[in-house]
Copies of this chain bind each other. A is one copy, B any other.
Amino acid sequence: MAIHQRLKERNIELPDVSVPAAAYVPYVQTGNLLFVSGHIAKKDGKAWVGQLGTNMDTETGRQAAESIAIDLLGTLQAACGGDLNRIKRIVKVVSLVNANGTFTEPHLVTNGCSELLMHILGDAGAHARSAYCVAQLPMGSCVEIELVAELL
């Protein structure tokens, strides 16, 4: 209920599960652990193209990371049969920021995702994390984020 209300307050409508652009599946569950594939940032249904330090600033990257959090929640909702309350805990987030060798704020970009997960899921949203800059991402997307969740 609380999760539902917090989504509503932020006017967030969760999308359907993100369909992979290649030869893999959006998530695999093993025991109580759910491994979710990397989700790239999208805008208007296409890759949100950009590179931090080259042609995108930290604040825009942060918004892209936040939009990925919404897509990840959509995928999690599908994996949970529609009920996000089945998420016991977001265990681990790995965030890949498309950047050149001068951009040193992948952690600030990634906060856009981490903070939304924590806002929407509450304590269950607090996660371990790694964030770093990579040379490029699929279709030129600016950010890609994957996660591991524990289900009830």
Contact = CB atoms under 8 A, between A and B. Distances in A.
- Contact-residue size bin, chain A (C-beta under 8 Å from the other chain): 35 or more
B136 A133 contact: yes
A53 to B, nearest CB: 8
A11 B20 CA distance: 30
A2 to B, nearest CB: 20
B114 A23 contact: yes
A106 B23 CA distance: 12
A138 B104 contact: yes
B137 A132 contact: yes
B137 A134 contact: no
Contacts of A67: none
| Residue of A33, A90, A107 contacting most chain B CB atoms (<10 Å) | A107
Contacts of A132: 38, 96, 134-138, 144
Interface of A: 20-28, 30-33, 35-38, 51, 53-54, 88-94, 96, 99-108, 110-111, 114-115, 118, 126-140, 144, 146, 148, 150
